[in-house]
Amino acid sequence: MSPADKLRVMLVEDHVAFRQALAFLLSHDDPDLEVVAQAGSVAEAREALDEPMGAYLDVAVIDLGLPTATGRS
């Protein structure tokens, strides 16, 4: 898979250490994945989507137990 064909991922997780570890694992263990954005809340994720990189996301991995909103909202 070429760099242009990588699956671009945003992680939304309020636990920073876990989010960073997951980003590291995804980016380094699978050459077909690239973590292009990270957020600690739904509000931060929405802001990230407004940034130019937000238009280039393929998938978001969202914590279902966020304190301010669930991954379902």
Domain boundary assignment for the chain: 7-62
- Domain 7-62 fold: Rossmann fold (3.40.50)
Cα–Cα nearest to 22, from 42, 38, 4, 46 = 38
Left, alpha or beta for 57 (phi > 0: left; psi -120 to 50: alpha)? beta
Q: What pairs with residue 7 in β-bridges?
A: 33
pLDDT in tens, 5-49: 889 999 999 999 999 999 999 988 888 999 999 999 989 998 988
Sheet holding 7-12, edge to edge: 33-39, 7-12, 59-62
pTM to 2 decimals?
0.81
Choose among 67, 58, 49, 47: nearest CA to 7.
58
